[in-house]
Amino acid sequence: YQKKLGERKLILSIDRLDYTKGIPQRLEAFDTFLERNPEYKDKIIIILIAVPSRTQVEHYKLLKKQVDELIGRINGKYGTIGWTPIWYLYRSLPFSSLAALYSISDVAVLTPLRDGMNLIAKEYVATKTEGKGVLVLSEMAGASRELGEAIIVNPHNNEELVEALEKALMMPEEEQRERNKAMQERLRRYNIVRWVEEFTERLLYTKKLQKEANAKILTSKMKDRLVGDYHKSKRRLLLLDYDGTLVPFFGRPEEAKPDDELLKLLEKLAENPKNQVVLISGRDKDTLERWFGNLNLSLVAEHGVWIKEKEWGMVEPLTDKWKINISPILELYVNRTPGSFIEEKEFSLAWHYRKADPDLGSIRVRELIEILVNLTANLNLRVLEGSKVVEIKNIGINKGRAALRWISKEQWDFLLAVGDDLTDEDVFAVLPKIGYSIKVGFSPSKARFNLYLPRDVRLLLEELVSGG
């Protein structure tokens, strides 16, 4: 291989021919790179090894046809009599040949759209005993969590892939050695023994959480006690979250409009003179007013910014000038995360990623929260992670503070608070000990009890209505 390459730099790409591997996207990036950087003509060779996979499946035949055509187009567009940009091998190679290619390649490009660990990335790093070589790795590969010194890219973003190739080919040798040394040391430390130990620890911790969650499930016996206490009481306070508690989550917030059955249930609860029913939501006040304004409910919007008893009013004067600094960050992550979107309220911003690819969303949310926490440290703002949403709002505003407005009003002999996410923990924290707090779902919570789903909450409320 070395003799055939001569002085040219070698870019190596190895994958199974599979839809999850992002080979067409990678080839499009190679095309853009060659078009944008004509100075690399006859200076680089791209070896693309595609290992056959599911060759009898029609969709995979179409994928191979697409890859063949892309390679033919690129070689025809840029190649000369003495230079073919992409050397294409549609077959598996013995490990000795792969190791040789790993060793002599200047850049390895491994950009799956979705992947497990990606062993090839670790093999490539392990062969770089002299320290030279650059790994361009998809953030969707599990190995990217360990190989942070690689150039990590979004495999869906053509521009990012092209810039990564440019950076890799221009990287000074000293920087290459430093990066590879750090990754090799980490691979040596995090061996199979360490992996088994960590896996076992996580497994035991998960079992511990399951045991704790099962112990807190609202059993039939405890539910009967709750319903009995409700029926015996004379003054009752019900503090209810909406999304994820009374209705399941939807792809977009506007799709979670209350159905007639829920509206009738809330109406029956609210018309009982013994009851004070408060809907405490992160929704904007206009939406809550439109959906629930004709019911005898007290409403809390934007996690406590707005409160309605008879009329809407703000808890305290707030500013939204901070949005001008935060919005561009959220817009950047919308562009980087297909399926995500921004929800703007009067005094808060929310980045939703429920419709995004789950793996990509889990990566992006960690990045975004870290950026926002640092950015808002001196802005009197709070960054909250909910269910597939990150929300930014004023630091002194929360559902617990809003709930205290009613909790402190009188001597209630029955209190019930139900919620599903981190924002509801503030309500659970201020609820008196005699109160019943219920978390929908099973993440760690201050709530006394858990229910599985919003429909379980509705069934409980229907039992309260039936005899109370």
Summarised one tens digit per residue, pLDDT across range 161-193 is 999 999 999 999 999 999 999 999 988 887 778
Q: Does 303 lie in the same domain as 424?
A: yes
DSSP 163-230: HHHHHHHH--HHHHHHHHHHHHHHHHHS-HHHHHHHHHHHHHHHHHHHHHHHHHB--HHHHHHHHHHH
Q: Does 268 lie in the same domain as 127?
A: no
Q: Does 407 lie in the same domain as 378?
A: no
Q: Does 154 lie in the same domain as 6?
A: yes
Distance CA 420, CA 443 (A): 9
Q: Residue 14 has what pLDDT?
A: 95
Backbone φ, ψ for residue 230 (5° rounding)? -60, -50
Structure tokens at 164: 């990564």
- Listed range (32-36, 49-53, 200-204, 222-226) with the worst mean pLDDT: 200-204
Q: Is the pLDDT of residue 79 over 90?
A: yes
Contacts of 378 (CB under 8 A, 6+ apart): none
Q: Residue 406 has what pLDDT?
A: 97
Q: Does 421 lie in the same domain as 292?
A: yes
Q: Does 171 lie in the same domain as 133?
A: yes
Q: Residue 186 has what pLDDT?
A: 87
Q: Residue 199 has what pLDDT?
A: 83
Q: How confident is the model at residue 253 (pLDDT cuts 50, 70, 90)?
A: confident
Q: Does 338 lie in the same domain as 298?
A: no
Question: 194 lies in a domain?
Answer: no
pLDDT in tens, 272-309: 999 999 999 999 999 999 999 999 999 999 999 999 99
Q: Residue 191 has what pLDDT?
A: 76
Q: Does 384 lie in the same domain as 253?
A: no
Q: 15, 18, 241, 357: which one is catalytic?
A: 241
Of 362, 378, 394, which residue constitutes the final position of a domain? Answer: 394
Q: Is the pLDDT of residue 468 over 80?
A: no
CB atoms inside a 10 Å sphere around CB 402 = 26
Q: Does 384 lie in the same domain as 267?
A: no
Distance (Å) of CA 133 to CA 34, 58, 101, 172, 177 = 20, 37, 11, 10, 8
Q: What's the average model confidence in pLDDT over 144-163?
A: 92
Q: How confident is the model at residue 215 (pLDDT cuts 50, 70, 90)?
A: low
Question: 70 lies in a domain?
Answer: yes
pLDDT in tens, 339-384: 899 999 989 999 999 888 888 888 899 999 999 999 998 888 999 9
Q: How confident is the model at residue 85 (pLDDT cuts 50, 70, 90)?
A: very high
Contacts of 436 (CB under 8 A, 6+ apart): 226, 229, 415, 416, 417, 448, 449
Asked if 106 is an active-site residue, the reply is: no
pLDDT in tens, 294-304: 999 999 999 99
Q: What's the average model confidence in pLDDT over 37-55?
A: 94
**Where residue 162 sits, what CATH number does that domain have?**
3.40.50.2000
- Listed range (13-22, 32-41, 69-78, 330-339) with the worst mean pLDDT: 330-339
Structure tokens at 368: 């975004």
Percent of the chain with pLDDT over 90: 74
Q: Which domain holds residue 405?
A: 211-316+397-467
pTM for the structure as a whole: 0.66
Distance CA 31, CA 77 (A): 9
Q: Does 7 lie in the same domain as 52?
A: yes
Distance CA 170, CA 185 (A): 24
Distance from the Cα of residue 67 to its chain's centroid:
31
Residues 375 and 402: beta-carbon distance below 8 Å: no
Q: What's the average model confidence in pLDDT over 104-129?
A: 93
